[in-house]
Structure 1
């Protein structure tokens, strides 16, 4: 009997390059199953696929070991942020306010 399979994409953007892989997994596979099958860990040994944050089409998946993939899903592997975006905006606004005060 032939096992039913589906095709999904796994994407990862490192600092220096981006990778988009097509992965064929059996029906009932989870997001983590697809990640391990993708082979990303061999290309990016620093990437911990067992615990890294991931999403599907831009929405974070809270439990990738449970969430089943569907045909055509785009699984995205996220890198940690280098800086908090709120803090960066706050600093930029403070700097602009300071510059405006000096020019008056």
Structure 2
């Protein structure tokens, strides 16, 4: 069996990232790699049986826990979004006001709004 390494990443909160490089043997699945990394034991809030709360990805693409890994794969445990990005952007725009955001922030003298 060939030995290789993978990276396991999880962010429980904004600006907090747990990253582990785990040496594994060939034929290991995503779930086995997560168990061997110790991340599931360290972060008991991770419950992979709830796909609406936690999603497992490899390099940003959704995968299943029984997917076989390859060398240099990066497993990411993704949390569900707490706020819709469109709603968050709209709220930021309303707080900033139209004079300081987007196309209206840098206006030349005498130019039409937005140019």
Q: Between Structure 1 and Structure 2, how many residues are aligned?
A: 95
Partner of 2:36: 37
Partner of 1:28: 27
**Offset of 1:92 from its aligned partner?**
5.3
Structure with greater helix percent: 1
Q: Distance in 2 between matches of 1:82 and 1:11?
A: 19
Partner of 1:64: 65
Gaps of 5+ in 2: 99-115
**8 Å CA contact retained: 1:32, 1:49:** no
Question: Structure 1: which 4+ aligned runs deviate by more than 2 Å?
Answer: 49-52, 86-93
Query: For the pair shown, which has the larger CA radius of gyration, 1 or 2?
Result: 2
**Aligned-residue CA RMSD in angstroms?**
2.6
Gaps of 5+ in 1: none
Q: Normalized against structure 2, the TM-score is what?
A: 0.66
Higher RCO (C-alpha under 8 Å, 6+ residues apart): 1
Q: Normalized against structure 1, the TM-score is what?
A: 0.72
